[in-house]
């Protein structure tokens, strides 16, 4: 689809991911909604928004183990409760976006997706495509989903984004995280961390050595998962990914408008 951007906002950006109870970063989300509105008003692109679960999902999944499959009745209830929590977060996010003038519409990915051993193998994109043509911004989000092998696994936004990018022939993927791209170590913990502006097939083996997941609870693979998911899309389909710090004002707006900030993952 011409001029389509897929924007993924991480759970560590829109929520307090370290919180034991679900907690939205309202001030950050409202600022991001303004930035997205300002960029989207340029009429230069169509947009799909995906958001992570953060404290609305990772804690309960880690505690119950439903990401590894369903084995008990208690886990069936946890499956349902986790989905309810994700719906609640999605409702909050879309309301803030709508209040800022964005035509965001909630889309529950698990209602039309099939997983196999933790991997997304099928998703019906006809409705997503139709909503984009109408002029809406579909808002999908990481969820527990039906898995044909283990009954349940986690359909993360990091899997949804490249799947949709390939299926809809997007122009690029943007990941809004809590760091401005990829570094040799966690820049929040190491002041000597060195920024890596570009990642490709040529330097991925070296980059892998630096990435060891996330500093908070994350059941979806952390930063390494993001890089590997998107590199495959860049190599096989020519769709680049940009990773930027969404906590820094204007970064998301600049990335949407084509500025080369953060880290670019390309062929």
Write down the pLDDT at residue 132: 98
Asked whether 50 and 161 are in contact (CB, 8 A), the reply is yes
Rg (CA), the chain: 17
The per-residue b/e assignment along 32-50, b for 16 or more CB within 10 angstroms, e otherwise, is bbbbbebbbeeeebbbbbb
Write down the pLDDT at residue 161: 95
Write down the pLDDT at residue 1: 86
pTM, 2 dp:
0.92
Four-way CATH pick for 4-265: 3.40.50.620, 3.40.1190.20, 3.40.1160.10, 3.40.190.80: 3.40.1160.10
Write down the pLDDT at residue 134: 96
Q: Which sequence spans correspond to the domains of the chain?
A: 4-265
Write down the pLDDT at residue 225: 75
Write down the pLDDT at residue 226: 75
pLDDT digits (tens, 9 = 90+) for 63-110: 999 999 999 999 999 999 999 999 999 999 999 999 999 999 999 999
Low-confidence ranges of the chain (pLDDT < 50): 214, 216-220
Write down the pLDDT at residue 212: 61
Distance CA 10, CA 124 (A): 23
Write down the pLDDT at residue 222: 67
């Amino acid at each position: 689809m011409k001029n389509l951007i897929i924007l993924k906002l991480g759970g560590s950006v829109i929520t307090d991911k370290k919180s034991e109870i679900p907690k939205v970063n309202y001030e950050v989300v409202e600022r991001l909604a303004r930035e997205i509105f300002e960029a989207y008003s340029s009429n230069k692109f169509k947009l799909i928004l995906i958001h992570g679960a953060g404290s609305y999902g990772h804690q309960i999944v880690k505690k119950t183990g439903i990401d590894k499959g369903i084995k008990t009745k208690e886990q069936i209830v946890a499956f349902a409760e986790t989905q309810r929590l994700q719906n609640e977060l999605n409702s909050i996010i879309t309301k803030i976006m709508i209040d800022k003038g964005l035509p965001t519409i909630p889309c529950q990915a698990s209602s039309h997706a099939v997983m196999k051993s933790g991997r997304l193998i099928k998703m019906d994109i006809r409705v997503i495509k139709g909503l984009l043509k109408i002029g809406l911004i579909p808002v999908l989000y990481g969820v527990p989903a039906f898995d044909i092998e283990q009954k349940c696994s986690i359909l993360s936004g990091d899997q949804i984004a490249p799947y949709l990018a390939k299926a809809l022939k997007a122009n690029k993927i943007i990941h809004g995280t809590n760091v401005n791209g990829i570094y040799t170590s966690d820049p929040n913990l190491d002041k000597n961390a060195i920024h890596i502006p570009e990642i490709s097939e040529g330097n991925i083996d070296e980059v892998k050595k630096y990435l060891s997941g996330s500093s908070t609870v994350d059941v979806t693979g952390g930063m390494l998962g993001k890089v590997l998911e998107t590199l495959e899309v860049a190599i096989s389909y020519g769709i680049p990914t940009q990773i930027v710090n969404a906590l820094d004002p204007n970064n998301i707006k600049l990335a949407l408008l084509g500025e080369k900030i953060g880290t670019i993952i390309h062929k």
